[in-house]
Amino acid sequence: MKQSCFRGLLLAVFLMSLHIAHADDGIDGDGGLRPLITTSELVVGQNRFAFGLLKSGKFLENADVALRLYAIDGQEAQLAAELKPAYQPVELTERVHSHADGTPHVHGADSDVRGIYVAQLALARPGAWGIEVLARQGKGSFETVRFTVMVLDAPATPALGSPAPPSRNLIASDVKDLRQIDTSQRPDIRLHQVRIADAIAQRKPQLIVFATPQFCTSRMCGPVVDIVRTLLPTYGKRVAFIHQEIWQDFAEKKMFPTVEEWRLDTEPWVFVVDGKGIIRAKFEGLVTARELEAALQQVITLGSARDE
């Protein structure tokens, strides 16, 4: 790939295309290549950047994808990195949720969202950065889409390496009906047994998923709570699994206090916390079991090493 400096018109394309980059934008446009980005919070340093690719209303799976990262400085957009995003398949089980307008949406084995592309972006400074995605399926020609993202000095959500907020989230024993704190079709009581503050006091690692399974506002919403549940048989005895619902009252857009304590303006989020109560991994948007398992393994391994 050519090392080049984009100027003039190309920089204008970057700056004008920001509105197409969000996963909750339901516009398919003219049928050209379109990114649906699940990562809204990017900060100085290393970042997980996840996205889907839409073409003529359909998601591209296992496409040949390249990503170019550009540092925008004044009227120049200088190539900073060339990456090969990995396609991460998502194992979907049938589920039903409601969109923001109240209409039901059934996901099954033939669901439109079957995977995401994930890249690690090293961002050296705050401000605007340009991203160029090139994609093709089979031996076809590459299509290109360009857009800008904004990078912050520091995250608004709890940062990696910082103490987890010691929230006293509601658990199963606090409510008469589990559906008061879990909008899943089949709420799982195993995800509502432990308070975050208590797990920290007990020095037990945690996987905390902030998600509202019933309501979905994005085409890239996925069965994150269901994905988390698949890890319970392997890790349930060593890790506290906690599901925190987002909306205490969806109609009134009233969040649960724990969501506000963690300063979350988007969902879903998954945080992996070690036995000392320190956040070691965080994932915004759709995430795969493979990614979560890698984070859990790291926390468990580090914990075991400290205990020796």
Tokens of 294: 């890698």
Residue 302: predicted pLDDT: 78
In this predicted structure, which of 102-111, 251-260, 263-272 has the lowest mean pLDDT?
Answer: 102-111
Work out the pLDDT band at 287, boundaries 50, 70, 90.
very high
Residue 30: predicted pLDDT: 60
Domain with CATH 3.40.30.10 in the chain: 172-307
> Tell me: the pLDDT tens digits for 69-96?
999 988 888 999 999 999 999 865 444 4
Q: Is the pLDDT of residue 253 over 70?
A: yes
**What is the second-level CATH architecture of the domain 5-152?**
Sandwich (2.60)
> Tell me: the pLDDT tens digits for 218-247?
656 668 999 999 999 999 999 999 999 999
What does pLDDT average to over the chain? 85
Domain with CATH 2.60.40.2550 in the chain: 5-152
Q: Is the pLDDT of residue 2 over 50?
A: no
Work out the pLDDT band at 139, boundaries 50, 70, 90.
confident
> Tell me: the pLDDT tens digits for 145-168?
999 999 999 999 999 999 999 999
Q: Are 72 and 271 in contact (CB under 8 A)?
A: no
At residue 19, what are phi and psi to the nearest 5 degrees? -65, -15
Tokens of 151: 């990078």
Tokens of 278: 């320190």
Q: What is the CATH number of domain 172-307?
A: 3.40.30.10
Q: Strand, coil or helix: what is 257?
A: helix
Residue 92: predicted pLDDT: 56
The DSSP code for 131 is E
Residue with tokens 């509105």: 19
